[in-house]
Amino acid sequence: MRRNVNTIDKLHYITHPLPDYPIAQQVEDVCRGGCSWVQLRMKEARTEERLAEALRILPRIRHYGATLIINDDVYAAKAADADGVHLGADDMHPSEARHLLGAGKIIGCTANTLDDVLRLSQYDIDYIGVGPFRFTSTKEKLSPVLGGEGIHRIVAAARIHGVRIPIIAIGGITPENIGGLLNTGIHGVAVSGAIHAAMDKATACEAIIAQLNTHHPSPITHHPSLTTNHQKNERHTKNS
Q: What is the CB-side half-sphere exposure of residue 236 using CA atoms within 13 A?
A: 7
* Residue 72 is assigned to a ligand binding site: yes
* Residue 41 is assigned to a ligand binding site: yes
* Residue 67 is assigned to a ligand binding site: no
* Residue 42 is assigned to a ligand binding site: yes
Do 54 and 38 touch, CB atoms closer than 8 A?
A: no
* Residue 71 is assigned to a ligand binding site: yes
* Residue 227 is assigned to a ligand binding site: no
* Residue 11 is assigned to a ligand binding site: no
Do 144 and 151 touch, CB atoms closer than 8 A?
A: no
C-alpha pair distances (Å), 83 with each of 55, 79, 169: 12, 11, 20
- Helix H segments across 41-160? 47-63, 74-80, 94-101, 114-120, 147-160
* Residue 229 is assigned to a ligand binding site: no
What 3-state class would DSSP assign to 176?
Answer: helix
What 3-state class would DSSP assign to 124?
Answer: coil
* Residue 200 is assigned to a ligand binding site: no
* Residue 40 is assigned to a ligand binding site: yes
* Residue 172 is assigned to a ligand binding site: yes
* Residue 141 is assigned to a ligand binding site: no
Question: Of all residues in the chain, what percent are helix, strand and coil, respectively (each to 5)?
Answer: 45, 15, 40
Task: Give how far the C-alpha of residue 60 lies from the chain's centroid of Cα atoms, to the nearest Å.
Answer: 21
Residues that constitute the known binding site: 39-43, 71-72, 91, 110, 136-139, 172
Residues that constitute the known binding site for Mg(2+): 72, 91
